[in-house]
Amino acid sequence: MPAVFEACRRCPECNRGQWNLCRNAYSRWSTPADQAPHFFGTFGTHWGLNGNQYVYKVPDNVSSKAVSAANCALSQMVAAVDAGDVRKGDKVVMLGAGGLGLCGATLAAEAGAEVFAAEMAPSRLEKAKTFGAHHGVDLTQAEDGRERVEMLREATGGGADVLIDLTGVPGAFSEGVRSVRPGGRFVSVGNVSPNKFTDFDPGLFTRSGVSMHAVIRYPHYFLSRSIRFLEETPHYPWEDMVDTDYAFTDVRAGIQAAEDKTVTRAGIVIGTED
């Protein structure tokens, strides 16, 4: 299995060992398919790799369907749980229980943490419990952001040791930081789209002593860690991470279902179309 982006090993970030920040990570993305060698992107029957991607062997006892979690959800969450320095006994909140949240819950649980999955789509919470979450927090029970923070602080007995924001909702950034205990760790993963803004109280943040970490992509070798993790944790229902399969010809329906959050993770299975 290859990493989905590149590490050029030549740019300043690569030379500092921060491969996940390679400034050439997406050198071939959005290249039109009529240019040779044609297979640059996803949603295709073939995919052309180059020497700046890293390829790891999948063990025989890890199925193709299970290993689809590794790229990039599980690998991304290996990086996020590392950044949050999750330790045994920590109270860890996964803010968002889609594919990333489920992967994060397993990693935190295996590290010995007490895991809370928090969601605005409460139908996802039961599934999160099969992926390592010990508690589900239904944030639809709160009226507003202030109440959501109160709910999370109460559930975790005064604030999370670590909160990993996977929502992609700018407002959740501020709420997430305020839901962490003084001196705890906040990890931002979900908010990746630029030019979206939110109110943030820097004074409250400074006084809280919370440390913030941003995690984008993952160092390539984390893919090998996540494949090994899949091999070592067959007690999680990895094949159920993708809850609905779509034929290649139904790509649009799969994307729509993911966007509408009517599925946790949509799978596109090539070779099943009519």
Which parts of this chain interact with Zn ion (CB under 5 A)?
8, 11, 14, 22, 24
Q: How many other CB atoms sit within 10 Å of the CB of residue 37?
A: 11
Q: How far apart are CA 142 and CA 120, in angstroms?
A: 10
In the complex with Zn ion, the residue whose CB is nearer, 8 or 142, is 8
Q: Are strands 266-269 and 91-95 parallel, antiparallel or unpaired?
A: unpaired
In the complex with Zn ion, the residue whose CB is nearer, 15 or 198, is 15
Residues belonging to the chain: 274
Least distance between Zn ion and beta carbon 14 (Å): 3
In the complex with Zn ion, the residue whose CB is nearer, 9 or 38, is 9
In the complex with Zn ion, the residue whose CB is nearer, 8 or 269, is 8
Q: How many other CB atoms sit within 10 Å of the CB of residue 99?
A: 25
Q: 73: closest CA among 19, 115, 131, 31?
A: 131
Least distance between Zn ion and beta carbon 10 (Å): 6
In the complex with Zn ion, the residue whose CB is nearer, 22 or 172, is 22
In the complex with Zn ion, the residue whose CB is nearer, 14 or 73, is 14
Least distance between Zn ion and beta carbon 25 (Å): 7
Q: Are strands 114-119 and 180-188 parallel, antiparallel or unpaired?
A: unpaired
Least distance between Zn ion and beta carbon 28 (Å): 14
Three-state SS at 61: coil
Least distance between Zn ion and beta carbon 27 (Å): 9
Residues 6+ positions from 125 with CB-CB distance below 8 Å:
97, 117, 119, 133, 136, 137, 138
Least distance between Zn ion and beta carbon 216 (Å): 13
Which contiguous run of DSSP H or E holds residue 267?
strand 266-269
Residues 6+ positions from 223 with CB-CB distance below 8 Å:
1, 3, 54, 56, 70, 71, 75
In the complex with Zn ion, the residue whose CB is nearer, 16 or 46, is 16
Two structure tokens written together for 77: 């969450």
Least distance between Zn ion and beta carbon 9 (Å): 6
Least distance between Zn ion and beta carbon 178 (Å): 35
Q: Compute φ and ψ for 42, nearest 5 degrees.
A: -90, -175
In the block, tokens 């009517």 appear at 262
In the complex with Zn ion, the residue whose CB is nearer, 19 or 238, is 19
